[in-house]
Structure 1
Amino acid sequence: MVGRPLINYLPNELLAKIFDMGARLPFPVDERYPHRPLFSKIPIGALYATAISQVCIRWREIIFQMPVVWSFIHLTRTLETHRRLKSDLGRSIDWLPVYLRRSRNFPLHITLDTTRVPADAALALINPYSTRWSTFTLLVSHVGSLPPVLPLLVRTRVPRLQYLSISSDIYREGIVCYDPLVPFFVTGTPELATISLSGVYVAWNALPLSNLRNLELHFTSRWPNFAHLQDMFDASPMLERLIIHDDIASILRHVQQPFSMPTVTLGRLKYLEIEAFRIRDEPADVAGLLGLFSMDILESLMIREITVDEWVSIIAVYDLPVFAFPGFGRATRTRGRLPNRRLTKSFPFLQNLVVTAASIMPRSPTSPIR
């Protein structure tokens, strides 16, 4: 005898929790980025809350009582719709007023895909609700797409914004932004605690972000010079967590740390994650990158995708456990040398250290994407 599906026996409270978790899942991205486009090659799924509401009467009644689920708004459309309707958003995202109404006064989580919808028209529809924005994710084609978009956000009021993410679909060496990037959100971001940049670069302290606690920099190689870098970090004295996944050789070329070796003080930083990415197969001078900063209370250090020689260069300077690198003992014996460590108290509060070896190098992102 075939019974009812088990999901029909779940209580409404448990279903509501499942629906809430589903709404919070991040939008899908290609894990092979930057060797593949980040998001444009991934099929666009149906609107989550709408799809749930159309399963059955019971689910519809539950989802209508959950304004939080309707507060996750992803402004995008299929490529075919984008080609047919171009700037006519009224026909392609006519669901937006419904979501805004059903979300009531809950904080909004906005994702704006400017590769599929015109930024000016989309922002004209959602800017009246900007005081409710809690998270804002901006998707652009590449860093050169930012100059026409950022000016549209200059006067946008976001007093409740806690999370800002800007991601580029395509990252390649040579795609740069020659036009100046204007300051945006100039009315203030008192609640902004997290900024994540992927494939783009912006001056994240156009206004001092004194409450910034988390900063993620993925493939943002065009770093400012040392003086400007110091100013940017000085504007965020509460920073506790920093993630850098980038071409380290390129970073150091742009920063150009003075010969006197001054450092940027990160007095509250507790977590640092560095993952090496190589554009021209250059060595990842992680020791040089670490040398840009003073991190007196660092508790967790993650160093990923480095070679044994790069690890030797690190522990030649910093007092870290010699055999933290996988297979380091065997590798160093074949070379017949062990490093001489100079800084005996590099990170006195370090409690967690993770080091991973470099994997096989994939095709260079400067090659054509097929």
Structure 2
Amino acid sequence: MSFTESVAFALFDWHCSTSRLPLIKQSMEVVHGSLSLRGRRSIDRLPNELLSAIFIFAIDQHCHDESDPSTTSPTTISQICHRWRQVALSIGGLWTNIVLTFPTSNGQLTRTLNWLERSKTSPLDILLDLRDPAWDWDEDTHGFRWADMKAVLTLLLPCASRWRTVELLTDTWAPIFAFLVHTRPVGPSLNRLEKLHLARCNAYFAAKGELFAPAALSQHLPLFGGDEAVVPRLREVTLTGVHIDWSASPLANLTKLELKYHAADVMPSVAQFAQILATCPDLEVLAIVGRGPQFAASNGIIGGTASSVVHGGSSQPDSGTGSMKLARVTQFSFGFVDINYAVQLLSLFDLPALRELNLEDVSASLLFQPPDDAAPLLEWLAAATHDANDTAFPLPDANATSTSNPISGSIESPSTSRLPMILLETLSLHSIHAPRSTFARFFGACAGLHVLRLCEVNAEALVALEGGSAAAKHRKNSVASAAPLPQLHTISARGVDESLLTRVVQGRGVQLKSFDCEGDSGPESDADDDC
């Protein structure tokens, strides 16, 4: 059934459910795919206000992609009849989704101009998807260049005061650079901007040892003019492969901050990163995928000991553990490419309200190699909940060479983790490989867990979920131990041993759900699809 038919029949039901004169059902029929409305006078009784509400609802429930004839768009509505066109053109809120895709055309640009005019004073939601599926990975041969981005901004900048959401997806750096340059003057006018997503969709810059390219354009440009540009409503920011001037950042009062797939050499220092976080006291969602802030250089290598951090906006010497307390962060996603760096970075966070943790070894997808041994990270996280009689595990040296199992024996000092594993309700693990004993200790530290998502983990994780019961019953005089995660009620899994998963689910009596690593709200997955 077409959208027009759906609306017509909905109007028929609406008429029949009121005290108004009902439509005669026989007065509506579909002939050869075309809708014939003989009860015209009754339909015309619908007030413009209700018709407007129906239009807005229809648009909100469908994609606005004009290139897809199966979707509902304002243009479709406005071409039904003269009255519908007049009503549609009077509703600025119908024309607020501005979409430009590669390759851009005169038709797209003309439509954009029309929609900008018809949207009147309504806030705008802008999507610029300028990626080319056929791109050959040569930065200089891409079909969308600096000049093209400048031309697009010529249309959009006059309406900057109406931007509500902006999403810019590119393959190369030149369009991003042009965006940062040409939007510097509009910072003071961005009074409606709520969400910003800038993405250079080339995740491989996050691989260990990779540096930013092209080097000639590596300078850190201020976002919207820098920290003097107050963006009062901006609450959600995602920067994927896009760096800015971190020392003069307008990133303040955010509730969601995501930094993904950056080259290590363009990331902020620990002090700069802490300063940004200090200006976001209401932050609830934090994601760091690939590389986070740079520690002070040690022997020319990024990743030494942090020199200073920020407490409440004032710079102080680094005291180590928990220097960045984020009191309201409930969801933290962390994708790492280096185990030693991962533990050193996490040791800086104090997240007392954490309820959802997503961990991923992204080096596996970036380098097409088996995941590293994540035992040092899992053991370090688990050690925070061990009592004095249990084994505690040290914080790895940032420049130490990772081995298959570098942790052994006990030490006098406890774990420096301030991530409350015992309070977690949801845990997602993607490409995390470790020995069974490590998984067992880690799961033992997450006693309050309700939902567990597993994607491409090794079989040892599932064996650990069984506890000692399954193994003990095959060994004489063995004492079976309880399975970990006593409050677990749901397991979602993908890319794991199906027979082993079935055994675990049946043995524990939990609910099994499948999930898509790319689409789930859990761990990040395919680096190419992260945009």
TM-score by length of 2: 0.50
Residue 298 (structure 2) aligns with: none
**Change in 2 beyond 3 A, CA 1:354/1:257:** farther
Unaligned stretches of 5+ residues in structure 2: 12-50, 131-143, 296-300, 308-318, 362-372, 385-416, 458-494, 496-516, 518-524
2:222 partner SS = coil
Give the distance between the partners of 1:209 and 1:49, measured in 2 at CA.
34
**Change in 2 beyond 3 A, CA 1:353/1:243:** farther
Higher RCO, 1 vs 2 (CA within 8 Å, ≥6 residues apart): 1
Please tell me the residue identity of whatever aligns with 2:158.
P
CA displacement at 1:283 relative to structure 2: 4.3
Unaligned stretches of 5+ residues in structure 1: 28-42, 82-88
> In terms of Rg, which structure is larger?
2
Please tell me the residue identity of whatever aligns with 1:56.
I
Residues matched between the structures, number: 323
Residue 293 (structure 1) aligns with: 349
**Change in 2 beyond 3 A, CA 1:248/1:295:** same
Residue 38 (structure 1) aligns with: none
Give the distance between the partners of 1:67 and 1:108, measured in 2 at CA.
10
Residue 204 (structure 2) aligns with: 172
TM-score by length of 1: 0.69
2:61 partner SS = helix
Instruction: Please identify runs of 4+ aligned residues in structure 1 that moved more than 6 A.
Output: 249-253, 322-327, 350-353, 360-366
Residue 320 (structure 1) aligns with: 421
Give the distance between the partners of 2:348 and 2:454, measured in 1 at CA.
23
Give the distance between the partners of 1:224 and 1:48, measured in 2 at CA.
43
CA displacement at 1:198 relative to structure 2: 2.0
1:230 aligns with 2:266: no
CA displacement at 1:50 relative to structure 2: 4.9
8 Å CA contact retained: 1:308, 1:357: no
2:199 partner SS = strand
Residue 311 (structure 1) aligns with: 378
Q: Map 1:112-191 to 2 at 5 A.
A: 112-113=128-129, 115=144, 118-143=148-173, 145-156=175-186, 157-173=189-205, 174=210, 176-177=212-213, 178=215, 179-186=218-225, 187-191=229-233
Give the distance between the partners of 1:337 and 1:141, measured in 2 at CA.
38
**Change in 2 beyond 3 A, CA 1:277/1:185:** same
2:117 partner SS = helix
Give the distance between the partners of 1:68 and 1:231, measured in 2 at CA.
38
Q: Map 1:58-69 to 2 at 5 A.
A: 60=85, 63-69=88-94
What percent identity do the matched residue pairs reach? Answer: 19
Residue 262 (structure 2) aligns with: 220
**Change in 2 beyond 3 A, CA 1:120/1:165:** same
Give the distance between the partners of 2:335 and 2:271, measured in 1 at CA.
24
**Change in 2 beyond 3 A, CA 1:218/1:336:** closer
CA displacement at 1:8 relative to structure 2: 3.0
Please tell me the residue identity of whatever aligns with 2:161.
T
1:97 aligns with 2:194: no
Give the distance between the partners of 2:349 and 2:62, measured in 1 at CA.
39
**Change in 2 beyond 3 A, CA 1:106/1:218:** same
1:76 aligns with 2:62: no
